[in-house]
Each structure stands twice: as structure tokens, then as C-alpha cells.
Amino acid sequence: MNSNKPIRHICGLSGGKDSAALAIYMRDKVPDMEYFFCDTGKELQETYDFLDRMEARLGVKVTRLSAQKGFDHFLEMYNGFLPSPQARWCTIMMKIKPLEEYVGDDEAISYVGIRADEDRLGYVSTKPNIKAVFPFREDGIVKEDVMRILDESGIGMPEYYKWRSRSGCFFCFYQRKFEWVKLHENHPDLFAEAMKYETEHSDGRKFTWNQGESLTEILARKEQIIKEHEERAARERANRPNKTLVEIMEGVLDDEDDTAPCAICHL
């Protein structure tokens, strides 16, 4: 550890709403904050556009960090096993390691955008020189506050929020089935690319992004998946007339799948 250097203040942006709101919230409180984004090279164009918008509006630079090798290299290294909630090698190799290399041995405080109304753990580095802090949790900032912060800043929500509520790779296995169907509608080329990763291996092994259902099968059920989602959304709208469309979609998707999203990629 280099004790002569000043402590670094770092704030990771995932391309999602909470980390974006935290960057806005902290900008004047910590003027020497370093903003970074760990780019897997498999992100949505909407995410890159959102980061550009943040840089322009906030007048800050967002350093893009990348692993030295790309996803396909690591997939081969992991013997073709697609990552999953139980085996999240993608997060380790493509998000955590690049961040830890970026910080090196410097002492750093990492600002993490977990909200006060969430029950999940954020990235807490195993490196003793990186200390995580949670300003939203400490200050009681909840989802409504995040929406307000984004709105008042003029930055707003990332564009993909019209059809998907979690940031991250286009093929992220944390996507709900409705989001896969919408990926197909919005980015058919990316959906086709995700499908290619599911092809059978020569030794007969077959991996899917979703437990128990391949993308071909999801696509075949497209109409049913959309219909079920819309029925739930209509019920949600009737029960909570004050909610915005984004909040309705997010609420319905969370009800469909309550798996806690990745606290590094989906912030």
C-alpha cells in the first residue's frame, strides 16, 4: 500500500439508474471522485449512450475499464460453461478484476449505489485497500428519490428502461423472459448472437442462459410471455394508479422473478 498518496474516491457506474443517481448525488460532495465503468464489450448500445449523456450533462469523465481479454476468451477458459447466478465468472473476470487492477495498491473508498429500500449486499472488495461505502443507505435514499434525482438532473433513465430494467450484458442470465423477448424485438442481431452461445457442444453438453428453457423455446412462447406480462401490468396499474410506466414494468418483472440482481452489474 502506498501511504504517501492521497486516498482515492471511486464511483462505479453500471449503466443502471442507481449508480447514475449516486454519481449525480456525489458530484458536488466529492469533487475529486473518479468515475469508472467496467466494459465487458457485450453491453447494449443504449448503455454506452447513457454514459455519454452522463459525461456531457455532469461534466465528468467516466473511465472505461476492460479486462485484457474478452468474454469469448474466458468462456473458452471455463471450458464452454456459460456463466450463471451460481457461477458468475463473468463478473469476477470482467468487472471485479479490472477494477482491482485500476486501483492497484492505492487506498480507495468505493461509493456503491445500493439504496436504503434494498436488501442486498454491494461489492465489498476482498482487497484491504478498497473500502466500500453506501451513501444512499446511510442517507435513507429510496427508489422514488433515485427517480427524482435522475429526473431533476435532466439525465433521465437509460433508454433500455422502456423494455428492460437491469443494466449489463445483452445476454445477461439475470434477464427475465419478457426482457429476452424484448431483446429480440429491439436488437434481433444481439438475440441471435446470444442464441449462438447456446449451441450444443461437440461432446453433447448443452448450456442455456435460462434454467430449463432455451432461447429458441422462449421465442416460440413469445406471444404467451408478452400476454402474461401485459395482464400483470394491467393489474398493477389498476392497483397502483400513481406509478409511472417504468415503475409498473419494474414491479411486474420483479414479481415474475425475485432473484436478487447482481450488485456489481445491476446498480
Cross-strand pairs, 12: 36
* CB nearer to ligand SF4: pick between 53 and 88: 88
Helix 45-58 vs helix 17-27: crossing angle, to nearest 10: 10
The one segment of 82-90, 144-152, 154-162, 195-203 that binds ligand SF4 by CB under 6 A: 82-90
Query: Would you count residue 265 as binding ligand SF4 (CB under 6 A)?
Result: yes
Spatial CB neighbours of 228, under 8 Å, sequence gap ≥ 6: none
* CB nearer to ligand SF4: pick between 51 and 262: 262
> Among residue numbers 167 through 186, which ones bind ligand SF4 (CB under 6 A)?
168-169, 172, 174
Q: How far is the CB of 70 from ligand SF4 (least distance, A)?
A: 12
167 and 15 Cβ atoms separated by less than 8 Å: yes
Give the span between the Cα atoms of 78 and 9, in whole angstroms.
33
* CB nearer to ligand SF4: pick between 149 and 183: 183
170 and 71 Cβ atoms separated by less than 8 Å: no
Among 83, 98, 158, 251, binds ligand SF4 (CB under 6 A): 83
Query: Would you count residue 113 as binding ligand SF4 (CB under 6 A)?
Result: no
Give the span between the Cα atoms of 228 and 226, in whole angstroms.
6
- For 114, counting Cβ atoms within 10 Å of its Cβ (0-12 exposed, 13-18 middle, 19+ buried), the class is buried
User: What x-and-dash track marks residues 16-55 binding ligand SF4 by CB under 6 A?
Assistant: ------------------------x---------------
Centre a 10 Å sphere on the Cβ of residue 139 and count the other Cβ atoms it contains.
Answer: 11
* CB nearer to ligand SF4: pick between 106 and 163: 163
The one segment of 87-95, 109-117, 199-207, 247-255 that binds ligand SF4 by CB under 6 A: 87-95
Query: Would you count residue 263 as binding ligand SF4 (CB under 6 A)?
Result: no
Q: How far is the CB of 227 from ligand SF4 (least distance, A)?
A: 27
* CB nearer to ligand SF4: pick between 51 and 172: 172
The one segment of 74-82, 91-99, 103-111, 117-125 that binds ligand SF4 by CB under 6 A: 91-99
Among 11, 23, 94, 215, binds ligand SF4 (CB under 6 A): 94
Give the span between the Cα atoms of 67 and 172, in whole angstroms.
17
Give the span between the Cα atoms of 93 and 89, in whole angstroms.
6
Angle, CA 194 vertex, CA 188 and CA 196 arms, to 5°: 105
The 8-class DSSP code of residue 93 comes to I
Centre a 10 Å sphere on the Cβ of residue 145 and count the other Cβ atoms it contains.
Answer: 17
Contact set with ligand SF4 (CB under 6 A): 40, 83, 88, 90-91, 94-95, 168-169, 172, 174, 262, 265
